[in-house]
Structure 1
Amino acid sequence: MKLQDTLRLSFGALTSKRLRTSLTILGILIGPAIVVGLTGLTLGFSAVLTHQLFSSLSPTDIFVTPGTNQVTSYTVQQISKLPGVKAVVPFYTLSATLETPSGPEPTVILSIDTAQAQKAFPGLTLETGQYPSPYSSYGAVAGYYITHPQYPGQPTYGPGQTVEVQINTPNGKVTKTFLITGSFNEFSSAFADIDRSLVVQNIVGSQYYGDDYSGLIVEASSVSQVNSVVNEIHNTLGRSVSVTSVEQFVTLINNSLSAVSSLLFIAGASSFIVAFVGILSTMFTTVVERTREIGVLRAIGFTRRGIMAIFLGEAVLMGLLGGIAGIGAGVGMGFLLTSVAGSPRGGGSGGGSAFGPGTHITPVFDPNFMVEVVLITIAFSVLAGLIPAYRASKIEPAVALRYEV
C-alpha cells in the first residue's frame, strides 16, 4: 500500500472522531507549549542581561576587589606594570543615608576619578549638569532615581541643590553636605546600583579610607588581552584579590540561566508523559471500536503491516498536529509571560519592569529547537501508538468480522 493511501486512511479515521481527536491533540500540545514558552522566556532574559551588561560596561573592564588582603596603592602599582594593562582606576564605595524631609533614604556614595569612570562605563551619561571639578570634595552627580521620583511623596534633588548625607566611615558616622552638579541618565549595571547612588571625586573616599580602596577597575588594552591580564593578576597577586571580568559576568549569567532553563525543560517534559498516556488511551479505544473495520480491511487484502501502518499514521498525524499547535501556543505563552514580566510596577510613577525599570523583554525562540520539540512530540506519539497498532495488526479477520461493539 502506498504511503499517501495510508496517510489518507489515517487522516480520515481522525476526522471521523473530531471531538476525541481534538481533545487528544489538546493534551499533546501542552508539553511543547510549556517547553517552548519557558525556554523562550529564559533566552529572552539572557539576551536582555547580556545587552545591558555590554551597553553599560566596556568589554575590556576587569574588576579587582579585596580577597585575603586589602586593595591599596601598592596593588595599583603592581597591576599597572602588568603587560596588557591600559589603565587602573581605584574606587571607594561608601554606605550612606540621605537625610530628606520625609526621612532617611539609604544610598551609596561611589568615589572615583570621574574622568576615568566615563571610559570604564561607556553607558554612563549625564542627563543634566556636569561632573564636579577633579579637586572638589563637595560636588556630586546624582543617580537617576535620586532626581526622578519613583513613588508618591519621594523627595527628589536636581542640579544646584544641596543634599545632606550621613556617611558610615571607619571612625563612625559623619554628616556631609554635597552640592548636586549634575544628574545621570538611567544606568543598569552589574557593577553598582548607580541609579540610587551619588558619584563624587575620589578625593572624598581618600579622606576617610586613605589608600584602602573598595576595588579597582582595570582596563585591558584590547578585548583579546582580557583573559591574559586576568591570568597575570592571578599569578602576581594570587588569592589576595578577587578578579572578575565582564566576560565572566556574561558566562555566569548564561550558566545560571542555562541551569534554570534545564529545570524548566524537565518540568515541561513531564507533560509529554500526559500526552503519551492520552494517545495510548485513545488508540486502544479506537482499536476496539474499529475491530469490524479491521476485519473488513483484512478480508479485502490488507496485510498486517498495512493495518499497523494505518494506526501508526494516526499517531504520527496527532503528534505532528499537537507539536505544531504546541509550538504556536508556546510562542504565545512566551510573549504573554514577558509582557507580564515587563509590566509597570505598582507604586512608581517611573514605571518599569520586574527586570528593571524601562526594560523591554522579548522572548527568543530558536527555530532548530522548535523543530526538535516537534520531532520529540512525534516520537512520543509513535511510541504511544506502537502497542495499539500492533494489537490491531494481530486481530484475525474471521474474529473481527463477528465482533460486536
Structure 2
Amino acid sequence: MKLLDTVSISFKALTSKRLRTSLTILGILIGPAIVIGLTGLTLGFSSVLTHQLFSSLSPTDIFVNPGTNQINSYTVQEISHLPGVKAVVPFYLISATIQTPSGPEGTEILAINTAQASEVFPGLTLQTGQYPSPYSSYGAVVGYYVAHPQYPGQPTYHTGQTIEVTMNTPDGKVTKTFLVTGNFNEFSSAFADIDRALVVQSIVGSQYYGDQYGGLIVEASSVSQVNNVVNEIHNELGRSVSVTSVEQFITLINNSVSAVSSLLFVAGASSFIVAFVGILSTMFTTVVERTREIGVLRAIGFTRRAIMAIFMGEAILMGLLGGLAGVGAGVGMGYLLTSGSGFNFGGRGGGSGAGLGPSTHITPVFEPTFMAEVVLITIVFSLLAGLIPAYRASRIEPAVALRYEV
C-alpha cells in the first residue's frame, strides 16, 4: 500500500471521531507548550541580561576584589605594569543610609575617579548636572532612584540640593552632607547598584580608608587581551585577590540559563508521559471499536503490515498535530506571560545590581531548532504509544474480526 493511501486512511479515521481526537491532541500539546513557553521565557531573560550587561559595562573590564589580602596602592602598581593592561581604576564602596520620612534607606557610596568612571562604565550617563571637581570631597552625583524615588513620601534629590548620609567607616558611623552636582540616567549593572548609590570622587574614600581600596577595575587594551590579563593577575597575585571579567559574567549567565532550561525540560517531560498514556488509551479504544473494520480490510487483501501502518499513522498524525499545536501554544504562552507586569523584572523594589531595572521588559526568545526538536520528540512519544495497539490490531484474525460485535 502506498504511503499517501496510508496517510489518507489514517486521517479519515481521525476525523471520523473528531471529539476524541481533539481531546487527545489537547492532552498531547500540553507538554510542548510548557517546554516551549518557559524555555523561551528563560532565553529571553538571558538575552536581556546579557545585552544590558554589555551596554552598561565595557567588554574589556576586569574586576579585582580583595581575596586573602587587602588591595592597596602596591597592588595597583603591580597590575598596572602587567602586559595588556590599559588602565587600573581603584574604587571604594562605602555602605551608608539616607534618612527619609519612612525611616533610613540603605545606599552605597562609590568613591572613584569620575573621569575614568565614564570610560569603564560606557552606559553610565548624566541626566542633569555634572561630575564634582576632581578634588571635591563634598560633591556627589546621585543615582536615578535617589533622584526619582519609586515610593511616595520619599524625598527627591536634584542638582543644587544637599543630601545627608550616614556612612559606615572604620572609625564608626560618620554623618556627612554632600552637595548634589548631578544625577544619572538609569544604569543597571552587575557591578554595583548605582541607581540607588551616590558617586563621589575617590578623595572621599581615601579620607576614611587611605589606600585600602574596596576593589579595582582593570581595563584591558583589547577584548582579545582580557583572558591573558586575567591569567597574568592570577600568576602575579595568586589567591590574594579575586578576579572576574565581564566575559565570565556572561559565561555564568549562560550556564545558569542552561541549568534552568534543563530543569524546565524535565518538568515538561512529565506532561509528555501523560500524553503517552492518553494516546495509548485512545488507540486501544479505537482498535476495539474498529475490530469489524479491520476484519473487512483483511478480507479484501490488506496485509498485517498495512493494518499496522494505518494505526501507526494515526498515532503519528496525532503526535504531529499535537506537537505543532503545542509549539504554537507555547509561543503564545511566552508572550502572554511577558505581557503582564509580573514579568517586568526588577530587583530590590526596582533597581538591581543584578542587571535589570523595573521598566525592563522581557521578550521571549524561541529557537527554531529547539522547537523542531520538541515536535520530533512529541512524534516519537506518539509513535511509541501507538506501537502496541497497532501491533495488536495487525494480529487480529479476519474471521474472528468479522464475527466481532461491539
Whether these two folds match at TM > 0.5 is: yes
Q: Secondary structure at the match of 1:181?
A: strand
Q: Secondary structure at the match of 1:404?
A: coil
Moved more, 380-389 or 146-155: 146-155
Q: 2:405 maps to what in 1?
A: 404
Question: What one-letter code is carried by the residue in structure 1 that aligns with 2:254?
Answer: N
8 A Cα contact 2:344 2:361, kept in partner: no
How has the CA–CA distance of structure 1 residues 274 and 349 changed in structure 2, closer, same or farther, with 3 Å as cutoff?
closer
Correspondences of 1:222-233 after superposition (within 5 Å): 222-233=222-233
Distance, in Å, in 2 between the alignment partners of 1:101 and 1:314 is 69
Q: 1:140 maps to what in 2?
A: 140
How has the CA–CA distance of structure 1 residues 349 and 210 changed in structure 2, closer, same or farther, with 3 Å as cutoff?
closer
Question: What one-letter code is carried by the residue in structure 2 that aligns with 1:211?
Answer: D
Distance, in Å, in 1 between the alignment partners of 2:15 and 2:166 is 75
Does residue 118 of the first structure (1) align with residue 118 of the second (2)? Answer: yes
Distance, in Å, in 2 between the alignment partners of 1:236 and 1:355 is 35
Q: 2:274 maps to what in 1?
A: 274
Distance, in Å, in 2 between the alignment partners of 1:133 and 1:108 is 20
Measure how far apart 1:105 and its partner are.
Answer: 1.5
8 A Cα contact 1:152 1:349, kept in partner: no
Question: What one-letter code is carried by the residue in structure 2 that aligns with 1:310?
Answer: I
Q: Secondary structure at the match of 1:115?
A: helix
Q: 2:294 maps to what in 1?
A: 294
Distance, in Å, in 2 between the alignment partners of 1:3 and 1:323 is 21
- Could you report, residue by residue, the CA deviation over 1:342-394 in whole angstroms, capped at 9, with x for unpaired residues? 3598xx899xxx95211011000000110111111001001000000000000
Distance, in Å, in 2 between the alignment partners of 1:313 and 1:355 is 48
Distance, in Å, in 2 between the alignment partners of 1:323 and 1:180 is 59
Q: 1:380 maps to what in 2?
A: 381
Distance, in Å, in 1 between the alignment partners of 2:359 and 2:219 is 29
8 A Cα contact 2:344 2:359, kept in partner: no
Correspondences of 1:299-318 after superposition (within 5 Å): 299-318=299-318
Q: 2:77 maps to what in 1?
A: 77
Distance, in Å, in 1 between the alignment partners of 2:263 and 2:243 is 30
Correspondences of 1:341-360 after superposition (within 5 Å): 341-343=342-344, 355-360=356-361
Q: Secondary structure at the match of 1:95?
A: strand
Q: Secondary structure at the match of 2:69?
A: coil
**Identity over aligned pairs, percent:** 83
Q: 2:172 maps to what in 1?
A: 172
Question: What one-letter code is carried by the residue in structure 2 that aligns with 1:152?
Answer: P
- Could you report, residue by residue, the CA deviation over 1:48-99 in whole angstroms, capped at 9, with x for unpaired residues? 1100100000000000000000000000000000000000000000011113
- Could you report, residue by residue, the CA deviation over 1:254-302 in whole angstroms, capped at 9, with x for unpaired residues? 1111111100110001110000000000000000000000000000000
Distance, in Å, in 2 between the alignment partners of 1:191 and 1:344 is 18
Query: Please, which runs of 5 or more residues in structure 1 have no aligned partner?
Result: none
Measure how far apart 1:103 and its partner are.
Answer: 3.1
Q: Secondary structure at the match of 1:157?
A: coil
Distance, in Å, in 2 between the alignment partners of 1:97 and 1:219 is 31
8 A Cα contact 2:344 2:360, kept in partner: no
8 A Cα contact 1:283 1:388, kept in partner: yes
Measure how far apart 1:151 and its partner are.
Answer: 1.0
Query: Please, which runs of 5 or more residues in structure 2 have no aligned partner?
Result: none
Does residue 247 of the first structure (1) align with residue 247 of the second (2)? Answer: yes
Question: What one-letter code is carried by the residue in structure 1 that aligns with 2:243?
Answer: V
Q: 1:13 maps to what in 2?
A: 13
Question: What one-letter code is carried by the residue in structure 1 that aligns with 2:376?
Answer: L
Q: 2:58 maps to what in 1?
A: 58
Distance, in Å, in 2 between the alignment partners of 1:103 and 1:377 is 56
Distance, in Å, in 1 between the alignment partners of 2:26 and 2:379 is 14
Question: What one-letter code is carried by the residue in structure 1 that aligns with 2:404?
Answer: Y
- Could you report, residue by residue, the CA deviation over 1:115-143 in whole angstroms, capped at 9, with x for unpaired residues? 00000000000000000000000000000
Question: What one-letter code is carried by the residue in structure 1 that aligns with 2:318?
Answer: M
Question: What one-letter code is carried by the residue in structure 2 that aligns with 1:404?
Answer: E
Does residue 363 of the first structure (1) align with residue 364 of the second (2)? Answer: yes
Distance, in Å, in 1 between the alignment partners of 2:298 and 2:362 is 57
Distance, in Å, in 2 between the alignment partners of 1:214 and 1:184 is 22
Distance, in Å, in 2 between the alignment partners of 1:308 and 1:120 is 67
> TM-score when scaled to structure 1?
0.97
Distance, in Å, in 1 between the alignment partners of 2:102 and 2:287 is 75
> TM-score when scaled to structure 2?
0.97
Does residue 95 of the first structure (1) align with residue 95 of the second (2)? Answer: yes
Q: 2:265 maps to what in 1?
A: 265
How has the CA–CA distance of structure 1 residues 343 and 54 changed in structure 2, closer, same or farther, with 3 Å as cutoff?
closer
Measure how far apart 1:226 and its partner are.
Answer: 0.1
Question: What one-letter code is carried by the residue in structure 2 that aligns with 1:200?
Answer: V
RMSD after superposition: 1.6
Distance, in Å, in 2 between the alignment partners of 1:113 and 1:349 is 27
Measure how far apart 1:102 and its partner are.
Answer: 4.4
Measure how far apart 1:149 and its partner are.
Answer: 2.4
- Could you report, residue by residue, the CA deviation over 1:22-48 in whole angstroms, capped at 9, with x for unpaired residues? 000000000100110111011001001
